Amino acid sequence: MTTPFPFTAVVGQDDLRLALLLNAVSPSVGGVLVRGEKGTAKSTAVRALTSLLPEVAVVPGCRFSCDPLSPDPACPDGPHEGGGGGASRPARMVELPVGASEDRLVGALDIERALAEGVKAFEPGLLAAAHRGILYVDEVNLLHDHLVDLLLDAAAMGASYVEREGVSVRHAARFLLVGTMNPEEGELRPQLLDRFGLTVEVAASREPDERVEVVRRRLAYDDDPAAFAARWADEEAAVRQRIVAARELLPSVRLGDGALRQIAATCAAFEVDGMRADIVMARTATALAAWAGRTDVLAEDVRQAALLALPHRRRRNPFDAPGLDEDKLDETLEEFSDSSRDDDPDPDGDGSGPGGPGGGGQPEPDEGPAGDGAGARPEEGEGAPAPGGGGEQSPVRAAEPFRTKVLSVPGIGEGAAGRRSRARTEHGRTTGAHRPRGALTKLHLAATVQAAAPHQRARGRSGRGLVVRRDDLRQAAREGREGNLVLFVVDASGSMAARQRMSAVKGAVLSLLLDAYQRRDKVGLVTFRGSAADVALPPTSSVDAAAARLESLPTGGRTPLAAGLLKAHDVLRVERLRDPARRALVVVVTDGRATGGPEPVALASRAARLFAAEGVASVVVDCESGPVRLGLAGRLAGELGGSAVTLDELRADSIAGLVKDEQRRAA
């Protein structure tokens, strides 16, 4: 067995360690979501926590970890007699792989025995193994939607239900949910986000001395894990004893009316939805007091609880960074403090407020992406309207985004689960049946009975059960929705540099990015200007990253349209190798001009026909403006085998709806 990295040997990351320890003291806090860049000890700290948790008393032989003092009366391995001493085992951390199947998560029934013998032969899944322990999901933001739904159900009810063709099994599933994620790879659904009690943002230290210590400890651990762990054994034992003491003190901690009013006022001030935030803050503040060895909850506990429990619950737009305005938090706590009058001995709290650079009651940042304010002056001119372009223009702010209609790729795919285009999936409405290829996951009962019925006499059926063989089983064919790759190819040349026009273009693309966020698509961004094209953002699930790259996009120079299309074609070729099942939609945002280099128009035409030959769904957003229009974007759309829409039409009806209509007619 591998020796885990000691929890107390983790350098820095104070908020992360505190959040994990609070859940160890009070599992009712509800788990932790750890957000941060790669290489910041997220997984290391979570895995190290397990060795600090007290042992768990279980009923001997129970696969579902029933408590001997109060066993689950509906346990599939029961009934158990209550009041027994039971046996003890170390606390368990179960890891849920991102690509796990539904059966691996909730367990599986033996369908053949269930049909033929009426026996509930059940093989427990990861939810059963995690009961009364930790369920850890690394890269939780990449978890498939159907697994997220199952986690939400289990977390809400404290139990897992497995129902398969009339056969039902239920078992307790109360666990501490811990997830780690890199926000650059995509965000979480709000429903799952709210199920995490606390959230922590982590980042690598910029202090050279601290970074040196991280490297020194990691190298020492890699050289001899057992010896390294032994050097930290005393610190680990001290923290373990402190957790036990805090657990024993927890029932004695008093949460007064004053602290409750501060909690309620804070949640109201930050406009969080529902009442879960209030409850989590109360439990967290109580756990903080117990961890500090106190029996009263203080204002400092409420403040720390807010910083851990509210950032992921406050209302914000999808592209807004999470976090709290600490000045506003301090003002709210002060207003509802029992000692808020002039005799308050510590009007600034415990000294841990913002109070640093940038404080002093500054308003919250604007909800739009940061910029230099240039986008607020559309009257500054049309930039460089000539085809040859001009010098580089500073980035402009995107116009206000708008809601789009559903954009979908024609036909039926087999890509990753999502909410956009039609696809054959493991979930959705049943459309037919076929022989299973590999393990049976979704039984089509009627087709199975129909296949087995003609052979009952030959198989010597005599009792009530149906004699079912492996060859009789039929897999249900289902149709649901998939996520697609939406690849934006944006013209950033001088002919696009007019501020009003580029602001509208960015607003349109931002609207589609919002739609992609909601429908769980991957997005990519290719830009072209001057003499070349660049992959501003490789295909990713993080629409936040795409929005940031879009906002900082400069313009100017010639229009290498062929280079942009060829770069996009190359991106799609590589992405097909990585994810062959995911279908793509290419959105080209341009006025259709092609300048620079020999035969730029002919080269662009040949590049466009590559997409048409491969059947790639595409749409051209025509950004040409002025009283005289050349129709170059429409000609490009024809060569791509797609459709074109002007910016005016985009504002009126939205690109998504027009693309869908055009593709429906083409199909």
pLDDT in tens, 159-218: 888 876 556 788 899 888 898 888 777 777 777 788 888 999 888 888 899 899 999 999
Q: How far apart are the first and last CA of the chain?
A: 57
Distance of CA 613 to the CA centre of its chain: 35
Distance of CA 289 to the CA centre of its chain: 32
Q: Which two tokens stand for residue 609?
A: 């026909």
Handedness of CA 205, 208, 209, 213 (dihedral sign): positive
User: How much is the mean pLDDT over the chain?
Assistant: 79
pLDDT of residue 115: 62
Three-state secondary structure string covering 43-111: HHHHHHHHHHCCCEEECCCCCCCCCCCCCCCCCCCCCCCCCCCCEEECCCEEECCCCCCHHHHHEEECH
Where do we find the tokens 């929705």?
Answer: 481
Q: Give 238-282 pLDDT, tens digit per residue.
A: 999 999 999 999 999 999 999 999 999 999 998 888 888 999 999
pLDDT of residue 1: 55
Alpha carbon distance 99, 416 (integer Å) = 11
Alpha carbon distance 139, 181 (integer Å) = 4
pLDDT exceeds 90 at position 46: no
pLDDT of residue 664: 53
Host H or E run for residue 500: helix 499-519
SS3 56: strand
Where do we find the tokens 């490297």?
Answer: 215
Q: Give 98-112 pLDDT, tens digit per residue.
A: 878 788 888 877 666
Q: Which two tokens stand for residue 238?
A: 């001290």
- The stretch 515-537 carries a mean pLDDT of 84
pLDDT exceeds 80 at position 59: yes
Lowest mean pLDDT across 35-49, 64-78, 157-171: 157-171
Q: Give 472-489 pLDDT, tens digit per residue.
A: 888 888 777 788 888 989
pLDDT of residue 441: 73
User: Is 195 one of the annotated active-site residues of the chain?
Assistant: no
**Total Cβ atoms within 10 A of residue 414:** 12
pLDDT of residue 291: 94
Catalytic residue among 261, 276, 316, 609: 276
pLDDT exceeds 60 at position 318: no
Q: Give 360-414 pLDDT, tens digit per residue.
A: 433 343 433 333 333 333 333 333 343 344 455 667 676 676 666 666 777 788 7
- The stretch 295-303 carries a mean pLDDT of 92
- Domain ranges for the chain: 7-54+132-159+173-251, 256-315+323-335, 422-482, 485-666
pLDDT of residue 625: 72
pLDDT exceeds 90 at position 284: yes
Q: Give 539-554 pLDDT, tens digit per residue.
A: 887 777 777 887 777 7
pLDDT of residue 316: 61
Using pLDDT thresholds of 50, 70 and 90, give the confidence band for residue 114. low
Q: Which of 184, 37, 181, 188 is nearest to 547 (CA)?
A: 184
pLDDT of residue 611: 94
Lowest mean pLDDT across 45-59, 420-434, 583-597: 420-434
pLDDT exceeds 80 at position 648: no
Fold match, 7-54+132-159+173-251 / 485-666: yes
Cβ neighbours of residue 512 closer than 8 Å, sequence gap 6 or more? 404, 407, 486, 488, 587, 655, 656
Lowest mean pLDDT across 9-13, 114-118, 288-292, 659-663: 659-663
Handedness of CA 538, 544, 550, 552 (dihedral sign): negative
Three-state secondary structure string covering 553-580: CCECCCCCHHHHHHHHHHHHHHHHHHCC
Out of 3.40.30.10, 3.40.50.2000, 3.40.50.300, 1.20.1090.10, select the CATH number for domain 7-54+132-159+173-251. Answer: 3.40.50.300
Alpha carbon distance 498, 530 (integer Å) = 16
Could you say which architecture CATH assigns to the domain 256-315+323-335? Orthogonal Bundle (1.10)
Using pLDDT thresholds of 50, 70 and 90, give the confidence band for residue 628. low
Q: Which of 136, 134, 138 is nearest to 180 (CA)?
A: 138
Report the percent of the chain where pLDDT is more than 90: 22
pLDDT exceeds 60 at position 341: no
Domain 485-666: CATH superfamily is: von Willebrand factor, type A domain (3.40.50.410)
pLDDT of residue 497: 60
